[in-house]
Amino acid sequence: MLIVGAGAIWLGGFWFHVLVAVIGGGMLWELTRIMGGPSKVAIPMGVLAAVALVAVPYLPWEVKLPALIAVALAGTGQIKKDRLIYAAYAAGLILACYGLIVVRDVRGIYWVVWLVLVVVATDVAGYFAGRLIGGPKFWPKVSPKKTWAGTSAGWIAAAIVGIVFGGTPLIVLSVLTSFASQMGDVAESAIKRRAGIKDSSNLIPGHGGLLDRFDAMMAAALFVLLLGAVLGLPAV
């Protein structure tokens, strides 16, 4: 899977769009199931999301956002409870996937690699610091395993990635992106806890589902997309 992902990132264009579409479609399928949507709705939602993410890079600019939001909200009527939560999370997922496509297509491979490394460094540093140091919990009611030590270590690791990639201009952005990725993990934990489940699915044997693996990446990508649209990204 790592080889496929790395290859798609390197090639960019259509192949990267397909990779993001498959992941995005799978995540929307998982979300719909988690929120109580029947299989007859969850599967079409996943397929619709995947098709939309492959097609949207080739649509006119004025159509892109409405099309993505429409796809994200298409299954809301079939959700029995927490429809607002579903709608917000689904829209966030679809826009985050589009954010990854924009980063690769517009910003280039440099920014994609930076984004991936910030998220990975945050996760790895947070895991080991949390295990070795322990201490007060970050948000015990939602994510009982997260500690302040692990959270802070993630910020430090992200700052180091920023220094390596772009020096001072990227330090603050890397730390903010790190925090966004952590909030993505917390948000997914809250969704699962509300649904009373441990994993988003069993698509990845031994590792849970796609949401379990890519929740942090989605939040980070959404943050970078929004920040880039409003303020632009620093020159490096």
- Convert the pLDDT of each residue in 163-217 to its tens digit: 999 888 899 999 999 999 999 999 998 898 888 888 898 888 777 899 999 999 9
Indicate the range of 75-84, 91-100, 168-177 predicted with least confidence: 75-84
**Chain centroid, CA 97 distance in Å:** 7
- Which residues contact residue 6 at a Cβ distance below 8 angstroms, ignoring those fewer than 6 apart? none
pLDDT of residue 10 exceeding 90: yes
> Per-domain residue ranges for the chain?
1-107, 108-236
Residue 87 has pLDDT above 70, yes or no: yes
**Cα distance between residue 221 and residue 217, in whole Å:** 6
Rounded-to-integer distance, Cα 73 and Cα 208, Å: 25
**Statement: residue 51 has pLDDT above 80:** yes
Q: Is the pLDDT of residue 235 over 60?
A: no
Q: In this structure, is the dihedral angle defined by the CA atoms of residues 204, 207, 212 and 218, taken in order, positive or negative?
A: negative
Mean pLDDT of the chain: 90
Give the Cα separation of 127 and 113 in Å (integer): 21
Specify the pLDDT at position 196.
85
Question: Taking the model in full, what pTM does it have?
Answer: 0.90
What span, in angstroms and rounded, lies between the C-alpha atoms of 143 and 135?
14
- CA dist 211 to 23, 74, 132, 156, 223, Å? 9, 19, 26, 25, 17
Highest mean predicted confidence (pLDDT) among 1-10, 19-28, 132-141, 202-211: 19-28
As a whole number, mean pLDDT of residues 21-34 equals 95
Is 48's pLDDT higher than 70?
yes
* Cα dihedral 42/19/217/111 (nearest 10): -150
Q: What is the pLDDT of residue 138?
A: 73
Task: Report d(CA 160, CA 191) in Å as an integer.
Answer: 31
pLDDT at 234: 64
pLDDT for the residue 109:
92
Higher model confidence: residue 231 or residue 13?
13
CA dist., res. 199 & res. 211, Å (int): 8
Contact call for residues 155 and 179 (beta carbons, < 8 A)? yes
Most confident of 78-82, 128-132, 201-205, 216-220: 216-220
